[in-house]
A and B are shown apart, each in its own frame.
Chain A
Amino acid sequence: MFAPLYKYGLFGAEVSLVVAFVLGILFGFTLERAGFSSSRKLAMQFYFRDMTVLKVMFTAIVTAMVGILYLNLTDILDISLIYLNPTYLAPQVAGGVVMGIGFVIGGYCPGTSLVASAIGKIDGFVYIFGALFGMLVFGELFPLFQDFSTSGFIGDATLMQWLGFSPGTVAFLVILMALGMFWGAEIIEKKYAEKEQEAVPENETTREPDATRTFKTVQA
């Protein structure tokens, strides 16, 4: 095994910052190309009109997950050297609730707000100031949350340990779940597109009858 390259000492801390910048560019470019620079597009997820967020996220998770497991299986990547988010169940669930509410109100998540601002979205800039303010408040009030923020600690817990399955089985289940959700997302998007089509006044529906079936191309 020779990866993660950084952990195997292929380059030092200073070079790692250059690597960070390059990976960040790729990350930001992809987020923008996915359409995540638009708060309305992101928010439509919560009204079943546009399920792009779900599709992009789970395709990305499945791709990276399968890649990691494959590279580990072929003795290239040492999984034990990869950072695993520690589990603090209580604050993570509470934080998830607060963020979910913030997501549908604010329209962005922190990463997407940066990409939105980069292309000139004013609500993106305002969102960033809001987020910085929220973090300042959290920091100032931290003494009140200190105990809660470390509660429900289970350490390096994984879905494998929780379910008692092998990594391969869990990966298979995640893939099945993702495919199920993609299938559902396509159906639900189509349903809402048809509903909106019906709502359009007569004079605007001048398309060929066949064109109404491929809503993806006409929707934009």
Chain B
Amino acid sequence: MSDKQEKYWSPYVAGFVLGLVLLATFFVMGRGLGASGAMMRVVTYAVDTVSPEHVDGNVYFAKYAGGEQNPLNNWLVFEVIGVVVGGLLSGLLAGRLKWKTDKGPNISTTGRLLFAFAGGGLMGFGARLAKGCTSGQALSGGATLALGSWAFMFTMFAAGYAVAYFVKKQWI
């Protein structure tokens, strides 16, 4: 890490700003923020490009891209494009743009990337099962005090803590 790199915000400041962004989203749109829903739409778009019949024949894909629907013409998709731009902007201003793989000292880069793929796969699958991810369920549903979102949030963190010991080598 270079010394020129700008420090992260204090967690409480970042949380307060994030809360205001979330509040603004509810105030302007009447809905919360999300991430995994947009990813699902990208997947559906890809499947739809390869085989529209396959999409129409599957209830889940058809929900996003049945018939003439374009799965990418959606609020969440535009929000997520913004997320990437916003992240890039912050990284640029903070001097953090750099090709890099984050990992602990006791794992090879290849090992870390295998874990990243496997973890991503579980998260993608789980997010569709839970009907949302950390953004759409825990954050947005948490702020609106939705019962299922709180149940989701606590089980997610409990499960993370429960298995953390077994992948300790990856991080520490």
Residues of A at under 8 Å CB distance from B? 3-7, 16-35, 37-41, 43-47, 49, 51-52, 55-65, 67-68, 71, 77, 81-89, 91-124, 126-140, 142-143, 145-146, 149, 154, 156-162, 167, 170-171, 174, 182, 220
Contacts and interface: CB of A to CB of B under 8 A. Distances in A.
A25 B157 contact: no
Given A33-B9, A39-B102, A92-B155, 12 more contacts: A3-B30, A16-B29, A21-B85, A25-B89, A34-B8, A37-B87, A58-B15, A89-B151, A95-B130, A96-B153, A123-B113, A149-B131
Contacts of A16: 29, 75
Chain B interface helix/strand/loop/mixed: helix
B18 to A, nearest CB: 4
Interface string B69-92: 000000110111111111111110
A136 B94 CA distance: 35
Contacts, number: 525
A28 B83 contact: yes
A16 to B, nearest CB: 6
Contacts of B138: 57
B162 A134 contact: no
B122 A106 contact: yes
B67 interface: no
Contacts of B4: none
Nearest to B150: A159
B136 A27 contact: no
Contact of A159 (B104, B123, B145, B170): B145
A131 B39 contact: yes
Given A98-B129, A100-B160, A129-B117, A64 B22 contact: yes
Nearest to B85: A25
B75 A170 contact: no
Contact of B155 (A100, A119, A142): A100
Given A27-B86, A28-B83, A139 B60 contact: yes
Contacts of A43: 170-171
A7 B29 CA distance: 7
A43 B102 CA distance: 10
Contacts of B81: 21, 24
